[in-house]
Amino acid sequence: MTLKMRHLEVFNALLDAGSVSRAAERLNLTQPAVSIALSNFEAELGFRLFHRERGFFAPTKEAMLLHDKVAQGLRAISQIEKLAQDIHSGQTGAVSIATNGVLAVNFLPKLLAPFQRDHPNIRVEIKVHSSRQIASWVASHHIDIGLIDPPVPVAGLDAEIFDFECVCTMHKDDPLAALDTIHPQSLVGRSVISIITGDHMIDRQLDALLAETDTVVARNTSAYYFAIARNLVAEGNGVAILDPINGKIDLHDGVVWRPFTPRIDNSLAVITAKGQPLGQAADEILGRIRAGLRKFIN
Protein backbone atom coordinates (compact mmCIF):
# COMPACT_ATOMS: atom_id res chain seq x y z
CA MET A 1 0.00 0.00 0.00
CA THR A 2 1.32 3.42 -0.96
CA LEU A 3 -0.41 6.38 0.68
CA LYS A 4 -0.27 9.74 -1.05
CA MET A 5 -0.27 13.08 0.72
CA ARG A 6 -3.02 14.41 -1.56
CA HIS A 7 -5.29 11.49 -0.64
CA LEU A 8 -4.81 12.16 3.08
CA GLU A 9 -5.47 15.87 2.61
CA VAL A 10 -8.65 15.21 0.63
CA PHE A 11 -9.89 12.66 3.18
CA ASN A 12 -9.25 15.04 6.09
CA ALA A 13 -10.89 17.97 4.31
CA LEU A 14 -13.98 15.86 3.45
CA LEU A 15 -14.43 14.84 7.06
CA ASP A 16 -13.96 18.38 8.36
CA ALA A 17 -16.02 20.11 5.64
CA GLY A 18 -18.80 17.53 5.36
CA SER A 19 -19.23 17.75 1.59
CA VAL A 20 -17.30 17.43 -1.65
CA SER A 21 -18.04 21.02 -2.66
CA ARG A 22 -16.82 22.55 0.61
CA ALA A 23 -13.75 20.27 0.68
CA ALA A 24 -12.91 21.28 -2.90
CA GLU A 25 -13.21 24.95 -1.96
CA ARG A 26 -10.98 24.45 1.11
CA LEU A 27 -8.30 22.66 -0.93
CA ASN A 28 -8.64 24.98 -3.95
CA LEU A 29 -9.47 21.99 -6.15
CA THR A 30 -12.36 21.16 -8.47
CA GLN A 31 -15.13 18.86 -7.21
CA PRO A 32 -14.24 16.18 -9.80
CA ALA A 33 -10.62 16.25 -8.61
CA VAL A 34 -11.73 15.68 -5.02
CA SER A 35 -14.06 12.85 -6.04
CA ILE A 36 -11.32 11.15 -8.09
CA ALA A 37 -8.81 11.46 -5.23
CA LEU A 38 -11.33 9.96 -2.80
CA SER A 39 -12.10 7.05 -5.14
CA ASN A 40 -8.38 6.35 -5.62
CA PHE A 41 -7.79 6.45 -1.87
CA GLU A 42 -10.63 3.99 -1.24
CA ALA A 43 -9.27 1.70 -3.95
CA GLU A 44 -5.82 1.81 -2.32
CA LEU A 45 -7.30 1.03 1.11
CA GLY A 46 -9.72 -1.62 -0.07
CA PHE A 47 -12.77 -0.25 1.69
CA ARG A 48 -15.25 2.61 1.43
CA LEU A 49 -14.73 5.79 3.41
CA PHE A 50 -17.99 7.64 2.68
CA HIS A 51 -21.57 6.71 1.94
CA ARG A 52 -22.35 8.58 -1.27
CA GLU A 53 -25.96 8.52 -2.32
CA ARG A 54 -28.22 11.13 -3.87
CA GLY A 55 -28.52 13.90 -1.32
CA PHE A 56 -26.59 11.92 1.28
CA PHE A 57 -22.86 12.07 2.13
CA ALA A 58 -21.55 10.63 5.40
CA PRO A 59 -18.37 8.92 6.65
CA THR A 60 -18.28 5.20 7.23
CA LYS A 61 -17.21 3.60 10.50
CA GLU A 62 -13.87 2.81 8.87
CA ALA A 63 -13.40 6.48 8.02
CA MET A 64 -14.01 7.49 11.60
CA LEU A 65 -11.41 4.97 12.77
CA LEU A 66 -8.86 6.52 10.41
CA HIS A 67 -9.70 10.16 11.03
CA ASP A 68 -7.71 10.91 14.19
CA LYS A 69 -4.54 9.23 12.93
CA VAL A 70 -4.77 10.96 9.56
CA ALA A 71 -5.25 14.34 11.24
CA GLN A 72 -2.31 13.68 13.58
CA GLY A 73 -0.16 12.60 10.65
CA LEU A 74 -0.96 15.72 8.66
CA ARG A 75 -0.17 17.92 11.67
CA ALA A 76 3.13 16.06 12.17
CA ILE A 77 4.04 16.53 8.51
CA SER A 78 3.18 20.22 8.76
CA GLN A 79 5.42 20.52 11.81
CA ILE A 80 8.23 18.71 10.00
CA GLU A 81 7.89 21.06 7.04
CA LYS A 82 7.96 24.08 9.37
CA LEU A 83 11.01 22.73 11.19
CA ALA A 84 12.79 22.04 7.91
CA GLN A 85 12.05 25.59 6.75
CA ASP A 86 13.35 27.00 10.04
CA ILE A 87 16.53 24.92 9.80
CA HIS A 88 17.04 26.00 6.21
CA SER A 89 16.55 29.66 7.11
CA GLY A 90 18.72 29.42 10.22
CA GLN A 91 15.82 29.98 12.62
CA THR A 92 16.30 26.85 14.71
CA GLY A 93 19.04 24.44 15.70
CA ALA A 94 22.17 24.64 17.82
CA VAL A 95 25.61 26.22 17.45
CA SER A 96 28.61 25.30 19.59
CA ILE A 97 31.58 27.60 20.13
CA ALA A 98 34.71 26.92 22.14
CA THR A 99 37.31 29.48 23.21
CA ASN A 100 40.49 29.31 25.24
CA GLY A 101 39.19 32.22 27.29
CA VAL A 102 40.40 35.29 25.40
CA LEU A 103 36.92 36.07 24.07
CA ALA A 104 34.71 34.30 26.59
CA VAL A 105 34.04 37.25 28.90
CA ASN A 106 34.17 40.58 27.08
CA PHE A 107 33.52 39.64 23.45
CA LEU A 108 31.28 36.64 22.77
CA PRO A 109 28.46 37.56 25.19
CA LYS A 110 28.08 41.02 23.64
CA LEU A 111 28.31 39.61 20.12
CA LEU A 112 25.88 36.73 20.65
CA ALA A 113 23.18 38.70 22.49
CA PRO A 114 21.85 40.45 19.34
CA PHE A 115 22.10 37.19 17.39
CA GLN A 116 19.90 35.41 19.93
CA ARG A 117 17.40 38.27 19.91
CA ASP A 118 17.14 37.79 16.14
CA HIS A 119 17.10 33.97 16.42
CA PRO A 120 15.40 33.04 19.71
CA ASN A 121 15.03 29.38 18.71
CA ILE A 122 18.76 28.83 18.13
CA ARG A 123 20.56 27.27 21.08
CA VAL A 124 24.11 28.57 21.44
CA GLU A 125 26.66 26.82 23.64
CA ILE A 126 29.98 28.37 24.69
CA LYS A 127 32.72 26.17 26.09
CA VAL A 128 36.06 27.28 27.56
CA HIS A 129 39.04 24.94 27.31
CA SER A 130 42.64 24.71 26.17
CA SER A 131 43.56 25.51 22.57
CA ARG A 132 44.68 21.93 21.91
CA GLN A 133 41.45 20.44 23.21
CA ILE A 134 39.35 22.91 21.23
CA ALA A 135 41.24 22.08 18.03
CA SER A 136 40.60 18.39 18.62
CA TRP A 137 36.89 19.03 19.22
CA VAL A 138 36.52 21.07 16.02
CA ALA A 139 38.45 18.55 13.92
CA SER A 140 36.19 15.75 15.17
CA HIS A 141 33.05 17.85 14.51
CA HIS A 142 32.07 18.07 18.18
CA ILE A 143 32.33 21.88 18.09
CA ASP A 144 31.32 24.16 15.21
CA ILE A 145 33.66 27.12 15.78
CA GLY A 146 36.88 27.31 17.77
CA LEU A 147 38.85 30.36 18.94
CA ILE A 148 42.39 29.41 19.93
CA ASP A 149 45.99 30.59 20.17
CA PRO A 150 48.08 29.76 17.09
CA PRO A 151 49.82 27.72 15.88
CA VAL A 152 46.93 25.37 15.12
CA PRO A 153 47.96 22.07 16.73
CA VAL A 154 45.70 19.65 14.84
CA ALA A 155 45.32 18.75 11.16
CA GLY A 156 42.03 18.86 9.29
CA LEU A 157 41.13 22.45 10.17
CA ASP A 158 40.56 25.69 8.31
CA ALA A 159 42.06 28.60 10.24
CA GLU A 160 41.89 32.37 9.90
CA ILE A 161 44.52 34.23 11.91
CA PHE A 162 43.84 37.64 13.47
CA ASP A 163 46.73 39.74 14.83
CA PHE A 164 45.93 42.37 17.45
CA GLU A 165 48.15 45.15 18.78
CA CYS A 166 48.21 44.88 22.57
CA VAL A 167 47.91 47.76 25.02
CA CYS A 168 49.21 48.42 28.50
CA THR A 169 46.47 48.59 31.13
CA MET A 170 46.69 50.25 34.52
CA HIS A 171 44.41 51.77 37.14
CA LYS A 172 43.39 55.34 36.34
CA ASP A 173 45.23 56.56 39.47
CA ASP A 174 48.47 54.83 38.49
CA PRO A 175 51.32 57.25 37.63
CA LEU A 176 51.67 55.43 34.28
CA ALA A 177 48.26 56.80 33.28
CA ALA A 178 49.88 60.24 32.94
CA LEU A 179 52.01 58.96 30.02
CA ASP A 180 50.84 59.02 26.42
CA THR A 181 52.73 55.86 25.50
CA ILE A 182 54.25 53.12 27.61
CA HIS A 183 57.75 51.80 26.85
CA PRO A 184 59.56 48.83 28.40
CA GLN A 185 61.63 51.24 30.55
CA SER A 186 58.38 52.73 31.88
CA LEU A 187 57.82 49.48 33.76
CA VAL A 188 61.01 49.49 35.83
CA GLY A 189 60.32 48.00 39.25
CA ARG A 190 56.61 47.61 38.55
CA SER A 191 54.53 44.49 39.10
CA VAL A 192 53.55 43.21 35.66
CA ILE A 193 50.83 40.55 35.64
CA SER A 194 51.74 37.47 33.62
CA ILE A 195 49.31 35.52 31.45
CA ILE A 196 49.20 31.73 32.00
CA THR A 197 52.24 31.65 34.31
CA GLY A 198 54.35 33.74 31.97
CA ASP A 199 54.31 31.34 29.02
CA HIS A 200 51.86 33.23 26.82
CA MET A 201 52.99 34.81 23.54
CA ILE A 202 52.43 38.27 25.04
CA ASP A 203 54.71 37.49 27.98
CA ARG A 204 57.40 36.08 25.72
CA GLN A 205 57.41 39.22 23.58
CA LEU A 206 57.44 41.51 26.60
CA ASP A 207 60.22 39.55 28.29
CA ALA A 208 62.34 39.84 25.13
CA LEU A 209 61.84 43.62 25.07
CA LEU A 210 62.64 43.90 28.78
CA ALA A 211 65.83 41.92 28.27
CA GLU A 212 66.89 44.10 25.33
CA THR A 213 66.49 47.24 27.44
CA ASP A 214 67.89 45.76 30.68
CA THR A 215 64.58 46.52 32.37
CA VAL A 216 63.73 44.61 35.54
CA VAL A 217 60.10 44.18 36.58
CA ALA A 218 58.35 42.13 39.22
CA ARG A 219 56.53 39.01 38.06
CA ASN A 220 54.66 38.05 41.22
CA THR A 221 51.14 37.57 39.80
CA SER A 222 49.76 35.53 36.93
CA ALA A 223 46.26 35.03 35.56
CA TYR A 224 45.00 32.31 33.25
CA TYR A 225 42.54 34.64 31.50
CA PHE A 226 42.95 38.20 30.25
CA ALA A 227 39.70 39.16 31.98
CA ILE A 228 41.14 38.03 35.32
CA ALA A 229 44.32 40.01 34.68
CA ARG A 230 42.19 43.07 34.04
CA ASN A 231 40.30 42.54 37.29
CA LEU A 232 43.63 42.44 39.13
CA VAL A 233 44.61 45.72 37.47
CA ALA A 234 41.26 47.20 38.52
CA GLU A 235 42.15 46.43 42.14
CA GLY A 236 45.44 48.30 41.77
CA ASN A 237 47.54 45.13 41.70
CA GLY A 238 50.05 46.04 39.02
CA VAL A 239 49.78 46.56 35.28
CA ALA A 240 49.12 44.16 32.43
CA ILE A 241 49.76 43.97 28.71
CA LEU A 242 46.43 42.83 27.26
CA ASP A 243 44.79 42.22 23.92
CA PRO A 244 42.69 45.23 22.79
CA ILE A 245 39.40 43.35 23.24
CA ASN A 246 39.92 43.01 26.98
CA GLY A 247 42.20 46.02 27.36
CA LYS A 248 40.24 48.76 25.60
CA ILE A 249 36.71 47.89 26.63
CA ASP A 250 35.11 50.41 28.96
CA LEU A 251 33.82 48.46 31.95
CA HIS A 252 33.69 51.46 34.33
CA ASP A 253 36.10 49.59 36.60
CA GLY A 254 38.78 52.27 36.86
CA VAL A 255 41.04 50.60 34.28
CA VAL A 256 42.57 52.72 31.51
CA TRP A 257 44.88 51.78 28.69
CA ARG A 258 47.81 53.31 26.85
CA PRO A 259 49.62 52.27 23.66
CA PHE A 260 52.71 50.17 24.20
CA THR A 261 55.79 50.45 22.02
CA PRO A 262 57.56 48.53 20.56
CA ARG A 263 54.47 46.73 19.40
CA ILE A 264 53.42 43.52 21.10
CA ASP A 265 50.95 41.33 19.21
CA ASN A 266 48.41 38.79 20.34
CA SER A 267 47.24 36.36 17.66
CA LEU A 268 44.00 34.45 17.53
CA ALA A 269 43.00 31.61 15.21
CA VAL A 270 39.35 31.14 14.27
CA ILE A 271 39.02 27.48 13.30
CA THR A 272 36.40 25.29 11.64
CA ALA A 273 36.52 21.73 10.36
CA LYS A 274 38.04 21.44 6.89
CA GLY A 275 35.60 20.22 4.26
CA GLN A 276 32.64 20.41 6.64
CA PRO A 277 30.25 23.25 5.70
CA LEU A 278 28.66 24.99 8.67
CA GLY A 279 24.93 25.20 9.11
CA GLN A 280 23.31 28.51 8.30
CA ALA A 281 23.09 29.64 11.93
CA ALA A 282 26.72 28.71 12.67
CA ASP A 283 27.83 30.40 9.46
CA GLU A 284 26.04 33.60 10.46
CA ILE A 285 27.68 33.56 13.89
CA LEU A 286 31.06 32.94 12.27
CA GLY A 287 30.50 35.99 10.09
CA ARG A 288 29.63 38.08 13.14
CA ILE A 289 32.74 36.86 14.96
CA ARG A 290 34.97 37.77 12.01
CA ALA A 291 33.40 41.22 11.67
CA GLY A 292 33.69 41.81 15.41
CA LEU A 293 37.36 40.82 15.50
CA ARG A 294 38.26 43.03 12.53
CA LYS A 295 37.14 46.07 14.53
CA PHE A 296 40.13 45.56 16.84
CA ILE A 297 42.73 45.32 14.07
CA ASN A 298 44.69 48.52 13.47
> Does 255 lie in the same domain as 177?
yes
Q: Is residue 81 within 8 Å of 109, Cβ to Cβ?
A: no
Query: 98 and 143, same structural domain?
Result: yes
At 119 the pLDDT is 87
H and E: helices and strands count for the chain: 10, 12
- CA atoms of 19 and 273, how far apart (whole Å): 57
**pLDDT at residue 260 in the model:** 98
Query: Which of 251, 247, 204 is CA-nearest to residue 225?
Result: 247
For 180, other C-beta atoms within 10 Å of its C-beta total 6
Q: Are both 74 and 133 inside the same structural domain?
A: no
CA distances from residue 107 to 97, 195, 248, 288 in whole angstroms, order as listed: 13, 18, 12, 11
Please state the separation of Cα 287 from the chain's center in Å. 10
Structure confidence at residue 79 (pLDDT): 77
- Asked if 147 contacts 259 with a C-beta cutoff of 8 angstroms, the reply is no
Given a cut of 70, the residues of the chain with pLDDT beneath it are 1, 86-92, 197-198
- Rg of the chain taking only CA atoms, in angstroms: 32
Report the pLDDT value the prediction gives residue 88, as an integer from 0 to 100.
67
Last residue of a domain, one of 59, 88, 117: 88
> pLDDT, tens digit, for every residue of 180-206?
999 999 999 999 999 876 678 999 999
**Per-residue confidence (pLDDT) for residue 224, from 0 to 100:** 84
Co-location of 109 and 178 in the same domain: no
CATH number, residue 32: 1.10.10.10
- Predicted confidence at residue 53, as pLDDT, reads 82
Give the separation between CA 54 and CA 236, rounded to whole angstroms. 94
- Whether residues 114 and 190 fall in one domain: no
Is beta strand 122-128 parallel, antiparallel or unpaired with respect to 50-53?
Answer: unpaired
Nearest to residue 293, comparing CAs of 259, 236, 244?
244
User: 31: Cβ–Cβ under 8 A, 6 or more apart, which residues?
Assistant: 20, 21, 24
Residue ranges making up the domain that contains 79: 5-88
pLDDT score for 197: 63
pLDDT tens profile 137-178 = 999 999 999 999 998 888 899 999 999 999 999 999 999 999
Task: Return the pLDDT at 105.
Answer: 86
What is the structure's pLDDT at 166? Answer: 97
Instruction: Tell me the C-alpha to C-alpha distance, in Å, between residue 191 and each of 163, 181, 204, 233.
Output: 26, 18, 16, 10
| Range list of β-strands (E), the chain | 50-53, 56-59, 93-99, 122-128, 145-148, 157-165, 167-171, 194-195, 222-223, 240-242, 255-259, 265-273
107 shares a domain with 42:
no
What's the pLDDT at 2? 77
User: Do 128 and 259 reside in the same domain of the chain?
Assistant: no
Phi-psi region of 198 (alpha: psi -120 to 50; beta: other; left: phi over 0): left
Residue 54 is predicted with a pLDDT of 76
Phi, psi of 277 (to 5 degrees): -60, 140
In the listed set 51, 67, 88, which residue is the last one of a domain according to the structure?
Answer: 88
For residues 35 and 122, state if they share a domain.
no
Whether the Cβ atoms of residue 148 and residue 268 lie closer than 8 Å to each other = yes
Whole-angstrom distance, CA of residue 171 vs CA of residue 164 = 22
Same domain, 206 and 137: no
Give the CATH number for residue 225: 3.40.190.10
